Amino acid sequence: MEDIKKHHVAQEALTVARNELNLLYEISNAMRTTLHLDEILYIILTAVTSHAGLGFNRAMLFLVNEKDSTLEGKMGIGPDTGEEANAIWKSIEAQKMTLDDLISNYKSTTPLGKSQLNRFVKSICVPLKDEEGGVLAMTLSDGMPLHIKPDSGQALTQDRLIEALKPEEFVTIPLKAKDKIIGVLFADNPYTHKPITRDDMRILSMFANQAGLAIENSQLYEQTLIKSHTDSLTGLWNHGYFQYRLNEELNCAKETKQHLSIIMADLDNFKIYNDTLGHQEGDKILREVAKILGVSARKQDSLYRYGGEEFAILLLHTSKTEAYSIAERIRQAIEKYHFLNAEIFPHKKLTLSLGIATFPDDASLKDKLLEHADKSLYDAKRQGKNRICG
């Protein structure tokens, strides 16, 4: 009788282990379908929160920013209220959705942009080694999972994350890639109040190792992608990426019925500088101009080296009047800046001519919009340079 009981226990343990391996395999396959970081993060969090996955009520991901020595909130998935939680679970149960279904459909049914939890997570940025980092920095520093139970008695005061979420019980897991910790996963059950077990911790830790490697691969891919889209001389985005972004943002502007403006800017008489002092000195000027553009444009504007001494600026949700104001600020900044050997130029200073085109005022098609911007730039040159047309 005892042997039969032991056999049943062993069989149950084997079944659990097999199910866990199948789940991890399914999640791993899902993560291999993309190299885009946002999609990887979404798959990870969906796997942690779905009934077909690890079954937590909500989960959040925070990644290390080595440059700023901070841990930044990247994404959070989970209901904002108990009522929303019940509605989601009933819908999932009625449709008998699999993990693949959730990964495909959840984003469209509950847009992350409208999620209070996701917005809150994205607002979190804590120092890596400061006490202000709270449980996230603690998990990162220790390199070990942290499980806080309701009766643990552990004081977590002055922790913005904990004060806002008010979790009864939660777990934080370090995300490791090779021998380096690249982030922290937070998960809890505020709606079902389901206790977090040792088995939950074990499988979550196993999953976190897979997730860490997937995130690292995605980050390496995005770094490579950024390099391929970046002008090596100025550090601005390049011409090819401008064409891609303009196409994407123009389609978005059409859907949302928002203005979109582009500024084409060309340095006046720059050939004189290159011919007199050489291209190496000219390159120094181009780098300085790129920095001035970065300071003079708005934070949300994207800057491109269009080619040679020509630059482009993409301004989303920006009317013609607003674009003129930004262009004038840039024109004045270049005119007032004391460039080395500027006495070579006419009027002993470097100047900039700018052309503006705005959707939908000037054109609705990408090629026509660019054509209008080029014509505006040509008009600025023809009318005497160091001016704006559009």
Does residue 80 sit within a domain?
yes
Cα distance between residue 356 and residue 35, in whole Å: 36
Same-domain check for residues 224 and 247 = no
For residue 80, pLDDT over 80 is answered with no
The answer to whether residue 296 sits within a structural domain is yes
228, 261, 278: which is the final residue of a domain?
228
Q: What is the mean pLDDT of residues 14-18?
A: 55
Q: Are residues 219 and 246 in the same domain?
A: no
Angle of helix 82-95 relative to helix 99-109, nearest 10 degrees? 130
CATH classification at residue 310:
3.30.70.270
**Tokens representing residue 98 in the block:** 């699999």
**pLDDT category of residue 111 using cuts at 50, 70 and 90:** low
Q: Which domain holds residue 263?
A: 239-383
pLDDT at site 130: 61
Structural domain includes residue 233: no
> Would you say how long the chain is, in residues?
390
Mean of pLDDT values over 275-283: 94
Q: Are 64 and 198 found together in one domain? A: yes
Identify the pLDDT of residue 220: 86
How many domains does the chain fold into? 2
Same domain? For 222 and 302 the reply is no
**pLDDT category, 101, cuts 50, 70, 90?**
low
List the CATH number of the domain containing 164.
Answer: 3.30.450.40
Clarify whether 309 is annotated catalytic.
Answer: yes
Distance separating alpha carbons of residues 313 and 306, to the nearest angstrom: 9
Residues 190 and 54 reside in one and the same domain: yes
In a domain, 389, yes or no: no
**Is the four-CA dihedral 161, 162, 166, 171 of positive or negative sign?**
positive
Rounded distance between C-alpha atoms, residue 78 and residue 195, angstroms: 17
Whether 234 is covered by a domain: the verdict is no
Per mean pLDDT, which of 19-33, 157-171, 250-264 is the most reliable?
A: 250-264
* Same-domain pairing of 185 and 244: no
Catalytically annotated residue among 132, 216, 309, 343:
309
Residue 3 has phi, psi (to 5 degrees) of: -65, -40
Same domain, residue pair 248 and 366 = yes
- State the pLDDT at residue 107: 47
Q: What is the 3-state secondary structure (H, E, C) of the chain?
A: CHHHHHHHHHHHHHHHHHHHHHHHHHHHHHHCCCCCHHHHHHHHHHHHHCCCCCCCCEEEEEEEECCCCEEEEEEEECCCCHHHHHHHHHHHHHHCCCHHHHHHHHHHHCCHHHCHHHHHHHCCEEECCCHHHHHHHHHHHHCCCEEECCCCCCCCCCCHHHHHHCCCCEEEEEEEECCEEEEEEEEECCCCCCCCCHHHHHHHHHHHHHHHHHHHHHHHHHHHHHHHCECCCCCCECHHHHHHHHHHHHHHHHHHCCCEEEEEEEECCHHHHHHHHCHHHHHHHHHHHHHHHHHHCCCCCEEEEEECCEEEEEEECCCHHHHHHHHHHHHHHHHHCCCCCHHHCHHHCCCEEEEEEEECCCCCCHHHHHHHHHHHHHHHHHCCCCCEEC
Average pLDDT over residues 292-304: 94
The stretch 26-40 carries a mean pLDDT of 73
Q: Do 196 and 257 lie in a common domain?
A: no
Domain boundary among 174, 195, 228: 228
The model's pTM is: 0.63
